[in-house]
Chains A and B, each alone.
Chain A
Amino acid sequence: KAGVTQTPRYLIKTRGQQVTLSCSPISGHRSVSWYQQTPGQGLQFLFEYFSETQRNKGNFPGRFSGRQFSNSRSEMNVSTLELGDSALYLCASSLKVSGANVLTFGAGSRLTVL
Chain B
Amino acid sequence: QQQVKQSPQSLIVQKGGISIINCAYENTAFDYFPWYQQFPGKGPALLIAIRPDVSEKKEGRFTISFNKSAKQFSLHIMDSQPGDSATYFCAASTYSGAGSYQLTFGKGTKLSVIP
Q: Which A residues contact B (CB, under 8 angstroms)?
A: 4, 33, 35, 41-45, 48, 50, 55-56, 90, 92, 96, 99-108
Contact = CB atoms under 8 A, between A and B. Distances in A.
Contact of B44 (A48, A56, A102, A105): A105
B69 interface: no
Given A42-B89, A107-B41, A56 B46 contact: no
16 contacts: A33-B103, A42-B106, A42-B107, A42-B108, A43-B44, A43-B89, A45-B103, A45-B104, A48-B100, A50-B99, A100-B34, A100-B51, A100-B93, A101-B103, A102-B49, A107-B41
A20 B61 CA distance: 40
A56 B104 contact: no
A25 to B, nearest CB: 13
B43 interface: yes
Contacts of B99: 50, 55
A105 B45 contact: yes
B28 interface: no
Nearest to A99: B32
Contacts of B45: 104-105
